[in-house]
Each structure stands twice: as structure tokens, then as C-alpha cells.
């Protein structure tokens, strides 16, 4: 009886069985391996983080945008009222608006990472003058 328990625990839990069942019917393991196992020429670098970060922020924008669109009314008479309703009456509405607002700024920042190429040092004072 102990051997049956030991073999059940070594086989994995219910998620392992579910994944094996799904893989046997769809071949998802081979698809995932083909999509995810991509050799990176020159090794992994910090710059590769920006792509996954940008994807996460984009999905956050889509999800929060859809959630905000459920309450927003885009007319000249009721737009401000609907935004105030989202912020003050909807549970978590102010947090949702903040996520959407800060997410848009984060998307701009992440999509244009600082250049690490040979940029001259005089470009910083030029930015201050402009």
C-alpha cells in the first residue's frame, strides 16, 4: 500500500495528469517547445527584458481599458460625470484608473529604453536648452 502512495506522489499531482492528458490530445508540449525554445545569439542580455515588460504593460492596458470602458460614457454632457462615478462609486475604480494612467506612461518609457550606444556627452545640455 505504501508503494501505491509513493508511486502516486512521484507521478505528480492532478495538474500533471491534466497536462499529460491535454498533451496527448493536442501536442501542446511540442508546440510550446517550438515557440519557447529559441536560441538567443550572443547570450541573454538585459535588453530582452523590455519586450516581455512591454507585453505585460500592453495586456494591462487592454484589460484596464476594457474594464473602464464598461462604465465610461463618451458624450460631452456626461463624460466628466462618468469619470467621477468610476473614481468615487465603482469598487476599485480609482485604482483601475491609476493603473491605466500609469501604465500608459510606463509603456512609453519601456518602449524607448535608454540608448547605450556611443552617444556624445554634450547631448545632455542640449536637452536642457530645448
CA-nearest of 113, 121, 105 to 46 is: 113
Confidence at residue 123, expressed as pLDDT on a 0 to 100 scale: 52
Query: Position of cell 465610461?
Result: 72
Domain assignment of residue 77, yes or no: yes
Question: What domain range includes position 77?
Answer: 47-111
On whether residue 122 sits in a domain, the answer given is no
Residue 27 lies in a domain: no
Asked whether residue 78 is domain-assigned, the answer is: yes
Query: Can you give the pLDDT at residue 15?
Result: 87
Question: Which helix or strand (DSSP H or E) is residue 67 part of?
Answer: helix 49-69
Query: Is residue 19 assigned to a domain?
Result: no
pLDDT attached to residue 64: 95
Tens digit of pLDDT at every position of the chain (130 positions): 455 554 444 567 888 888 899 989 998 888 888 888 877 777 667 777 788 889 999 999 999 999 999 999 999 999 999 999 999 999 999 999 999 999 999 999 888 766 655 555 555 555 454 4
At 80 the pLDDT is 93
Q: In this predicted structure, what is the pLDDT of residue 14? A: 83
Contact present, 19 and 27 (Cβ < 8 Å): no
Coil, strand or helix at 126:
helix
For residue 61, what pLDDT is reported?
96
The grid coordinates of residue 45 equal 542580455
Count the domains in the chain. Answer: 1
Q: Measure Cα distances from 125 to 113, 122, 128, 130 in Å.
A: 20, 6, 5, 9
Instruction: Supply the pLDDT for residue 121.
Output: 54
pLDDT at 8: 46
**pTM attached to this predicted model:** 0.58
Residue 93 lies in a domain: yes
Quote the CA–CA distance of 3 and 11 in Å, as a whole number.
Answer: 12
Amino acid at each position: 500500500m505504501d508503494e501505491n502512495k509513493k508511486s502516486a506522489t512521484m507521478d505528480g499531482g492532478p495538474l500533471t495528469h491534466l497536462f499529460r492528458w491535454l498533451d496527448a490530445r493536442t501536442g501542446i508540449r511540442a508546440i510550446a517547445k517550438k515557440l519557447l525554445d529559441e536560441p538567443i545569439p550572443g547570450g541573454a542580455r538585459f535588453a530582452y527584458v523590455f519586450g516581455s515588460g512591454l507585453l505585460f504593460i500592453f495586456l494591462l492596458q487592454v484589460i484596464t481599458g476594457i474594464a473602464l470602458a464598461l462604465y465610461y460614457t463618451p458624450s460631452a454632457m456626461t463624460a466628466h460625470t462618468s469619470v467621477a462615478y468610476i473614481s468615487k462609486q465603482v469598487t476599485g475604480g480609482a485604482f483601475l484608473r491609476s493603473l491605466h494612467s500609469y501604465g500608459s506612461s510606463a509603456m512609453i518609457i519601456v518602449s524607448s529604453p535608454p540608448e547605450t550606444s556611443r552617444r556624445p556627452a554634450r547631448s545632455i545640455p542640449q536637452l536642457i536648452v530645448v
